[in-house]
């Protein structure tokens, strides 16, 4: 590990600079309509109030634009999250502030908190079931950093290295130029450019340190487009670079399938094939119709899986997906992707053009302001998918993908030799 290779004392001010809180957010979980909404005049011929456009910043500083119905949905979501927050506070009062840090049954396949069924205590089982149900209903934003670090295994991962690991890593990478750093510098201005903090000098510097730091921690991954969006959203949630770094590390090393972000994106290719098969099983009518049209699901799903929906869904909806992702593992991504297709099944079956498919799916995803609606479809309408089933499917598809990649390399080598 990098921490064992770097020696030296890190100055106190350097430590403080890396661990400081990045920015402050309001306590409310959603914006209110009293002072944050700006209505735009509807276009001629659209006098209906539902066509009025509202613009405002959400909790994480992203500009939201929608009609009056969207605003009403957001207000309903805000109220539900307040109620959910009261449930969390009540449990903290009765079980203790860190009750979910206790040993539990692992949901995402990681090693943290894993205990054998034979030694299972009723209290542990109860806590595991309670936590799973709570997380699916949403983690209060103020608790997200602590809960994510715990349930994902990031806190345990960080505990295995010296406390100065991140600071030393960043210090050692300063001034270094690699293909990864060049690509990171190219992508920084394009990462959520409309977000005021991420588009600031301070925001881009923080994001750069996290991405460059990880590119040196894992040279096989280095940097891949898509990670900039994931790391940026982690920064906004976790509030400190170090916490965001460890969440990125556990995501790439434990939560997601291997090789999703390596040079040949083999892991991502595997996930796309698994998703295509799952779509055929869970939504057979949609899959058959799209196949007849010649539509490749990877046209939309590649970005979904590489960016973990951060460029697709509204921020709070994305983070509700991530709540479950960090607790239950990468199978959640399949549930959500299938749900987006399933929600528009009737519309998808009516259309005949590939461009219309993309438009419907993108428009639907961009306006999914109600996380509960999406997650209800994802888990109740799609049905169960065990991690073991998905793992078996991945192994089968991995053989096919690697054979295709090998064939492609041989073909390219042959063309070079002929040239």
Tell me: the pLDDT tens digits for 285-317? 999 999 999 999 999 999 999 999 999 999 999
* CA dist., res. 390 & res. 258, Å (int): 14
For the chain, how many helices (H) and strands (E)?
19, 3
- Residues facing 57 on adjacent strands: 63
Tokens 């199978």 correspond to: 331
pLDDT of residue 51: 66
Mean pLDDT, to the nearest integer, of 146-160? Answer: 94
Question: CATH 1.10.8.270 occupies which residues in the chain?
Answer: 153-254
Q: What is the pLDDT of residues 22-80, one digit of tens each?
A: 544 333 333 333 334 444 444 444 445 556 887 878 889 998 888 888 888 888 998 99
Long-range contacts for 249-252 (Cβ within 8 Å, ≥24 apart)? 249/154, 249/157, 249/214, 249/217, 250/110, 250/152, 250/153, 250/154, 250/157, 250/326, 251/152, 251/326, 252/214, 252/218, 252/221
Share of residues in the chain with pLDDT > 90 (%): 56
Rounded to the nearest integer, the mean pLDDT of the chain is 82
pLDDT band (50, 70, 90) for residue 112: very low
Question: CATH 1.10.472.80 occupies which residues in the chain?
Answer: 266-418
Which stretches of 61-150 are assigned E, i.e. beta strand?
63-67
CATH number for 266-418 (one of 1.10.472.80, 2.60.420.10, 3.40.50.1450, 3.50.50.100): it is 1.10.472.80
Nearest CA-CA partner of 141 in 27, 20, 58, 235:
27
pLDDT of residue 26: 34
pLDDT band (50, 70, 90) for residue 226: very high
Structural fold of domain 153-254: Helicase, Ruva Protein; domain 3 (1.10.8)
* CA dist., res. 131 & res. 138, Å (int): 10
């Amino acid at each position: 590990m990098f921490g064992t290779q770097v020696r030296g004392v890190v100055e106190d001010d350097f430590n403080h600079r890396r661990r400081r809180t990045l920015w402050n957010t309001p306590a409310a979980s959603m914006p209110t309509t009293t002072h944050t909404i700006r209505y735009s005049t509807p276009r001629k011929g659209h006098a209906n109030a539902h066509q009025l456009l509202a613009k405002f910043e959400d909790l994480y500083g992203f500009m939201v634009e929608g009609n009056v119905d969207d605003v009403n949905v957001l207000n309903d979501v805000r109220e539900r999250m307040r109620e959910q927050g009261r449930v969390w506070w009540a449990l903290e009062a009765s079980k203790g502030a860190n009750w979910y840090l206790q040993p539990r049954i692992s949901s995402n396949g990681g090693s943290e908190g894993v205990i054998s069924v034979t030694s299972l205590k009723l209290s542990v089982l109860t806590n595991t079931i309670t936590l799973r149900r709570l997380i699916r209903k949403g983690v209060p934003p103020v608790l997200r950093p602590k809960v994510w670090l715990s349930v994902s295994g990031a806190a345990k991962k960080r505990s295995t290295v010296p406390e100065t690991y991140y600071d030393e890593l960043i210090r050692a990478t300063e001034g270094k130029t690699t293909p990864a750093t060049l690509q990171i510098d190219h992508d920084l201005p394009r990462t959520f450019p409309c977000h005021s903090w991420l588009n600031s000098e301070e925001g881009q510097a923080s994001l750069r340190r996290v991405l460059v730091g990880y590119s040196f921690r894992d040279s096989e991954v280095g940097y891949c487009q898509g990670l900039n969006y994931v790391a940026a959203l982690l920064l906004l949630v976790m509030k400190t670079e170090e916490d965001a770094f460890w969440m990125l590390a556990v995501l790439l090393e434990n939560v997601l399938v291997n090789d999703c972000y390596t040079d040949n994106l083999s892991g991502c290719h595997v996930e796309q094939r698994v998703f295509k098969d799952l779509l055929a099983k869970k939504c057979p009518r949609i899959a058959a119709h799209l196949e007849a049209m010649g539509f490749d699901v990877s046209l939309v799903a590649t970005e979904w899986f590489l960016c973990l929906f951060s460029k697709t869904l509204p921020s709070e909806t994305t983070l509700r997906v991530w709540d479950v992702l960090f607790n239950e593992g990468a199978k959640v991504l399949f549930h959500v992707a299938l749900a987006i297709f399933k929600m528009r099944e009737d519309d998808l079956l009516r259309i005949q053009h590939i461009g219309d498919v993309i438009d419907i799916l993108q428009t639907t995803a961009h306006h999914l302001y109600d996380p509960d609606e999406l997650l209800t479809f994802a888990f109740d309408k799609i049905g169960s998918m065990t991690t073991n089933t998905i793992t078996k499917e991945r192994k089968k598809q991995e053989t096919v993908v690697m054979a295709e990649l090998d064939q492609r390399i041989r073909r390219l080598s042959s063309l070079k030799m002929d040239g």
